[in-house]
Chain A
């Protein structure tokens, strides 16, 4: 057998995978040159340098309003999903619950059912509770989508925490509440951070639930981008997209930092 054959195969594999990685990363990063070039679309070579699209993004109320609303909604949804997800994970991992598997699959199911199905079904309920067009309504809608992420991440973290630490604290005279806040919560902190990050990013990009719940008076950033792409294609979209790439980069940096601390 030719001894150099495996080596050649390896080089072929490396070449192939490099192309795939370029396929993944280039379209993601391409919005950056688009957002600072004068022309509407990326022309080769890129012409001119301008920050006017960013300026418009940060000053035009048509963009600024939706951005601020999206940030506020993402913050609330992340907090709410993580609080509810932590409580549910505690019950699922530590509690003696009948039918745990069923409850777990139920909590995970929003991840598998098409969002448009959930949005369509939930619309009637949101109407009945007068939640259409309210910030609370949008937050609640995003939470339904974020919950699975929050439960997966936090319960996985909780499973790795040694229960004997809590028992030891109780033995040494701590109340259940003290043991919870001094031992359990600090030990699942990495999971809570990671889950908040996930839910925040997920909510910031949520479009389909929002379309059903938002009503006619409000606008979120993804909805603004979506309508602009469909009807206008303004270069400000590139600036908004660049902001999203920066958010993603920050999310990765923060999660790597959390991983290292673990």
Chain B
């Protein structure tokens, strides 16, 4: 079949070939073949720290999204009234379709010193004067959870919705209480949805750029903002190439771990 050919050709020229070239090109420093770029990355504590921070923030985002997303998906799957389901779906889809930039801007307005969150905290008496909520790791985390949450809820919901309710009823009939029925029936059956949600969230969070760039500060550099800094501010493409390879390698490593555990095909369904 030649139908897939045009797409493959375009992707090969502008995507696969450049990706394959990344590694050999990252081995050059000032035109000479060397491991200097990688040496520089792994010998400088700041850079390895940024790599670990990126993985940590991605993991924190994923855990928070799961803790908030699972109950939401669970309730949505168990609601009988189609209007309420539709309303809940709207609350999830509207942010999902709205520009990430627009939502980041909203968070800046909410979290700034004179913003809504400080206003509420002062009026509730939790704090006496405005605190600095922006440009730190917490702001990045809040913004990322807000953006990733729909990616966690939707796959879990689609699995939960299709679980045969008779299984749960049978378990209850056979003497299980609601908690046992959840732990032994519903939760294990929803694992494929959880796997897909966790995988998408973690992978996207790993390469996230906009939120750390806008809600984070200089002390919250992540891999993608570090690449941006090296390219656009310092113009060091050779060193940036090595960071790109490290980010790409970490992503591929994590994707293949998930592929073993969950199966990649799951996320397309």
Q: Please list the residues of chain A having a beta carbon within 8 angstroms of any beta carbon in chain B.
A: 1, 6, 13-14, 16-17, 20-21, 23-25, 27-31, 34, 41-44, 84-85, 87-88, 90-92, 94-97, 103-108, 110, 112-118, 120-126, 140-141, 143-144, 147, 152, 156, 201, 204-205, 207-208, 211, 222, 225-226, 229-230, 233, 237-238, 240-242, 244-245, 247-249, 251-252
Contact = CB atoms under 8 A, between A and B. Distances in A.
B75 A17 contact: yes
Given A118-B19, A121-B22, A87 B3 contact: yes
B66 to A, nearest CB: 12
Contact of B18 (A103, A121, A208, A237): A121
The SS class assigned to the B binding surface is helix
Given A113-B207, A121-B244, A229-B105, A84 B7 contact: yes
Contacts of A238: 105, 109
B224 A116 contact: yes
A41 B2 CA distance: 55
Contacts of B177: 1
Contacts of A207: 100-101, 209-210
B108 A201 contact: no
Contact of A147 (B7, B18, B21, B102): B7
A140 B14 CA distance: 9
Rank and list the top 9 A-B pairs by shortest CB-CB distance, nearest first: A114-B207, A95-B1, A241-B102, A248-B97, A121-B18, A91-B4, A91-B1, A244-B99, A91-B3
A27 B244 contact: no
Contacts of B114: 41, 43
B71 A222 contact: no
Contacts of B93: 252
B103 A107 contact: no
Interface of B: 1-4, 6-8, 10-11, 13-19, 21-22, 68, 71-72, 74-76, 88, 90-110, 112, 114-116, 119, 146, 149-150, 177-178, 203, 206-210, 213-214, 223-224, 227-228, 231-232, 240-241, 244, 247-248, 251, 255, 264, 268
Contacts of B88: 17, 21
Nearest to B95: A28
Nearest to B114: A41
Contacts of A117: 19, 22, 207, 244, 247-248, 251
Given A28-B106, A108-B268, A124-B18, A116 B146 contact: no
B106 A31 contact: yes
Nearest to B230: A120
B224 A114 contact: yes
A173 to B, nearest CB: 24
A113 B251 contact: yes
B169 to A, nearest CB: 14
A251 B177 CA distance: 43
